[in-house]
Amino acid sequence: MTKSNDMKLKNIILFSIMILLTSCALKPISSDFAFIKTTLDKVDLDQLGNGTILIYNGADILHKIDNTARLNIWIDGKPLGQIRPSEYVIINLKNGKHLFKALHIDVVNMRSEHDVKIDEKTKVIEIKPNITSNRLRVTDELPKRFDKFKYAEKR
């Protein structure tokens, strides 16, 4: 192989890798929910519950690296918006069952549906992409290293 051909092959491989990494970007959806604006200093578990719910994207490092960690979320068919890795929102939800739908792109669309029962004790919901779908977990604790999280902007 000549130097010229070797250089062309390297450029093609580099270009292919760049296309692969950027093609997994998920376009954000607009939110129909009213976010409760807050600062990190004011987020306290005692302020959550009774319909005030913190929802965060708990994506791990593997999804952050390849840009597949962005989640578009719908609640009862109404768009919540896009939550990027290490972002959170605080919204009000009425008590009862709610259908959460989540979508992230990891070469193909990874969709999931989750029935979530909200009551006066529900405070925190973690949603995170995984290799085959998305995982949702209702918890009563803030994520580790919450000081590194930021409030999601309405997009």
pLDDT tens-digit map of 34-90? 666 655 457 888 889 999 999 999 988 776 777 778 899 999 999 999 999 999 999
pTM over 0.85: no
pLDDT for the residue numbered 60 = 81
If one compares 1 and 85, the residue with the highest pLDDT of the two is 85
pLDDT at 153 over 80: no
pLDDT for the residue numbered 128 = 93
Contact yes or no for 89/83 (Cβ under 8 A): yes
- Cα 17 to Cα 111: distance, rounded to the nearest angstrom: 25
Closest by CA to 19, choosing from 28, 27, 8, 11, is 11
The distance of Cα 26 from the centroid of its chain, to the nearest Å, equals 11
Contact yes or no for 21/67 (Cβ under 8 A): yes
Average pLDDT over residues 18-41: 61
Contact yes or no for 137/126 (Cβ under 8 A): yes
Does domain 3-151 fall under CATH 3.30.160? My reply is no
Count of Cβ atoms closer than 10 Å to residue 141 Cβ: 10
pLDDT at 26 over 80: no
Q: What are phi and psi of 101, to 5 degrees?
A: -120, 135
pLDDT tens-digit map of 106-142? 778 889 999 999 999 999 999 999 888 899 999 989 9
Q: What are phi and psi of 41, to 5 degrees?
A: -65, -25
pLDDT for the residue numbered 34 = 64
pLDDT at 2 over 60: yes
Question: Can you give the residue ranges of every domain in the chain?
Answer: 3-151
pLDDT for the residue numbered 142 = 92
5 pLDDT band, cuts 50/70/90, is: confident
